[in-house]
Structure formats: C-alpha cells, structure tokens
Amino acid sequence: MSARLDPGMVGPTLRSWQLRCVLALACCVTAAATVLWTEPNAFALVLLALVAVATVVRPDSHAATFYLGLTAFLVLVNEPGMSWWAAPAVLGIHATHTLAALAAVVPWDTAVERAALRPSVRRFVAVQAASQSLVLLALAVTP
C-alpha cells in the first residue's frame, strides 16, 4: 500500500542524469548485441559509438533515430542470420527508443516523479514479453 502525499508534495523522483545513465546502458546493450551478432567493420563500430554518445547527450535530437536505424542497417547489411543475439538486440533497441523518448522531454536540471514512469514501464514489459516470445519462436523455426 503506498503512502498518500499531501497536495503539492512530490513523491520519489528520478534525476535527469540518472535517466540518461540508464539510456547510456541501453545504448551499450544495443551496441554490444549488434556488434556480437553482426561483426561489423571498424568504421561501423566507431560510427555506432559516436551516435550512441550523441543519443545520450541529445536525446531530443534525431540522434536516437539515426542510432536505431544504424543498428537495423548493420543487421540487414551483414546478414548474420538468426542468433541468440537477437534477444538482447530487441531488448536494447526497445529500451533505447523508450528511454530516449522519455529523456527528450526531461531537461538536464530536473527530475521526473517515478510514479509518472509506471505506465511506460508497464508498456515496456508487455511489449518485451511479446517481442521476446517472437524471438524464441524465430529461433525455434530457423535451422
């Protein structure tokens, strides 16, 4: 049972820098899964790292879109086939997308109430349950 707050009081918060640290972790998971799955060349690795940093620093820009497009491009171009690396890649891509959207609207010097993040977390869990089930199905039916 949660404690009731007096009107005008704010519940527990998540600082903007903490949200961006979680976004950085999501970018790292995405990059690691993509690199281990597709084995791209050195130029692609450097570009992936630079765009990941830009995504964390400026989530309100198109850097996140470019980052997610680049990961998809690397998978398509390198044709790695189905692998267990698809599961963390799907998780990382979805987490990066969700967190970049949240971080884009939270200025650097503010915090967001944790209760406001609950609907996003619930949607994230539901989508991941379905997505990871599809990854497992794809792994089961591919030779």
pLDDT of res. 4: 67
Number of H helices, E strands in the chain: 5, 2
Whole-number Å distance between alpha carbons of 118 and 90: 21
Whole-number Å distance between alpha carbons of 89 and 34: 6
Q: Does 25 score more than 90 pLDDT?
A: yes
From 57, 62, 52, 63, select the one nearest 92 (Cα to Cα).
52
Q: Does 62 score more than 70 pLDDT?
A: yes
Question: Is 34 exposed, middle or buried (CB count within 10 Å of its CB: 0-12, 13-18, 19+)?
Answer: buried
Q: Does 107 score more than 60 pLDDT?
A: yes
Over residues 93-107, mean pLDDT: 95
13 phi, psi to nearest 5 deg: -120, 165
pLDDT of res. 55: 97
Whole-number Å distance between alpha carbons of 38 and 66: 18
Whole-number Å distance between alpha carbons of 25 and 9: 31
pLDDT of res. 11: 84
Could you tell me what percent of the chain has a pLDDT over 90?
A: 80
pLDDT of res. 2: 55
CB atoms within 10 A of CB 107: 10
Q: Does 3 score more than 90 pLDDT?
A: no
| pTM exceeding the 0.75 threshold for the entire prediction | yes
Contact 58, 70 (CB under 8 A): no
Q: Across all residues in the chain, what is the average pLDDT?
A: 92
Residue with tokens 């109430």: 113
Contact 85, 36 (CB under 8 A): yes
Give the pLDDT confidence of 27-57 residue by residue, as tens digits: 999 999 999 999 999 999 999 999 999 999 9
Q: Does 138 score more than 70 pLDDT?
A: yes
pLDDT band at 80, cuts 50/70/90?
Answer: confident
